[in-house]
Chain A
Amino acid sequence: MNHDAYPDNYIRGILNSVKSIAMVGASPVNVRPSYFAFKYLAQRGYDMIPVNPGHVGKDLLGKPFVASLRDIGRPVDMIDIFRNSSHIMPVVEEALALDPLPKVIWMQLGARDDAAAEKAEAAGIKVVMNRCPKIEYGRLSSEISWMGVNSRTLSSKRPPAPTQGMRLSLNRMSVGGGDTAASDRAAKNKTEQS
Chain B
Amino acid sequence: MSDRLPGFSTLAVHAGAQPDPTTGARATPIYQTTSFVFNDADHAASLFGLQAFGNIYTRIGNPTNAVLEERVAALEGGTAALAVASGHAAQVVVLQQLLQPGDEFIAARKLYGGSINQFTHAFKSFGWNVVWADPDDIASFERAVTPRTKAIFIESIANPAGSITDIEAISTVARKAGVPLIVDNTLASPYLIRPIDHGADIVVHSLTKFLGGHGNSLGGIIVDAGTFDWSTGGKYPMLSEPRPEYHGIRLQETFGNFAFAIACRVLGLRDLGPALSPFNAFMILTGIETLPLRMQKHCDNAKAVAEFLAGHPAVASVSYAGLASDKYNQLARKYAPKGAGAVFTFSLKGGYDAGVSLVSKLQLFSHLANVGDTRSLVIHPASTTHSQLDDAAKIKSGAGPDVVRLSIGIEDKEDLIADLEQALGA
Task: List the interface of chain A (C-beta within 8 A of B).
Answer: 7-9, 30-31, 33, 35-36, 39-40, 109-110, 132, 135, 138, 142-152, 154-162, 164, 173-178, 180-183, 185-186, 189-190, 193
Known contacts A143-B53, A160-B21, A181-B197: A149-B70 contact under CB 8 Å: yes
Which residues in B have their C-beta under 8 angstroms from that of A157? 18-19
Interface size on B, residues (CB 8 A): 66
Nearest CB in chain A: distance from B424 CB, A: 44
Q: Can you name 29 A-B residue pairings with CB atoms under 8 Å?
A: A30-B51, A31-B49, A33-B254, A40-B51, A135-B255, A138-B53, A142-B18, A145-B67, A145-B70, A146-B54, A146-B66, A147-B80, A147-B265, A148-B61, A148-B66, A148-B70, A148-B265, A150-B258, A154-B10, A158-B19, A159-B18, A161-B21, A174-B3, A175-B6, A178-B74, A180-B77, A181-B77, A183-B226, A185-B199
User: B246 to A182, Cβ gap below 8 A?
Assistant: no
On whether the beta carbons of B61 and A146 are closer than 8 Å, the reply is yes
Give min CB distance, A157 to chain B, whole Å.
Answer: 7
Task: State whether B5 touches A176 (Cβ < 8 A).
Answer: yes
Task: Give the distance in Å from the alpha carbon of A191 to the alpha carbon of B52 in the complex.
Answer: 31
Return A32 CB to nearest CB of chain B, in Å: 9
> Does B307 lie at the interface of the complex (its beta carbon under 8 Å from any beta carbon of A)?
no
CB under 8 Å from chain A, chain B span 3-28? 3-6, 10-11, 14-16, 18-22, 24
Rounded to whole angstroms, the CA-CA distance of A143 and B47 in the bound complex is 13
- B residues within 8 A CB of A193? 229
Residues of B48-95 whose CB lies within 8 A of A: 49-55, 61, 63, 65-67, 69-70, 73-74, 77-83
Q: Which residue of A lies closest to B74 (CB)?
A: A177
CB distance from A188 to the nearest CB of B (A): 10
With A31-B49, A110-B253: A148-B21 Cβ-Cβ less than 8 Å: no
Most buried by B among A145, A160, A181, A186: A145
Given contacts A156-B18, A158-B24, contact A182 B78 (CB under 8 A): yes
Q: How far apart sit A135 and B14, CA to CA, in the bound complex (Å)?
A: 21
Given contacts A162-B21, A177-B15, A183-B79, 13 further A-B contacts (CB under 8 A): A31-B249, A36-B51, A39-B51, A110-B256, A132-B256, A146-B54, A148-B80, A148-B82, A148-B83, A159-B18, A164-B43, A182-B79, A182-B225
Contacting residue for B5 out of A36, A138, A175, A183, CB 8 A: A175
Contacts of A149 in B (CB 8 A): 70, 73, 79-80, 258, 261
Q: What residue of chain B has the Cβ atom nearest to residue A183's Cβ?
A: B226
Partner of B14, one of A132, A144, A146, A154: A154
| Contact yes or no, A185 B227, CB < 8 A | yes
Within residues 226 to 243 of chain B, which ones have a CB less than 8 A from any CB in chain A?
226-229, 242
- B46: Cβ under 8 A from any A Cβ: yes
Does B125 sit within 8 A of A, measured CB to CB? Answer: no
A189 to B242, CA, bound (A): 25
- The docked-state distance in angstroms from the alpha carbon of A20 to that of B80 is 30
Measured between beta carbons, the chain A residues less than 8 angstroms from B74 are: 150, 152, 175, 177-178
B291: Cβ under 8 A from any A Cβ:
no
The 3 closest A-B pairs by CB, nearest first: A148-B69, A150-B73, A149-B80
Instruction: Specify which chain B residues have a CB less than 8 angstroms from the CB of A8 in the assembled complex.
Output: 2
Assess whether B63 is in contact with A146, with CB atoms less than 8 Å apart.
yes
Query: Residues 258-277 of chain B: 1 if any A CB is under 8 Å from the residue's CB, otherwise 0?
Result: 10011001000000000000
Contacts of A183 on B, CB cut-off 8 Å? Answer: 79, 226-227, 257
**Nearest CB of chain A from residue B323's CB, rounded to whole Å:** 30
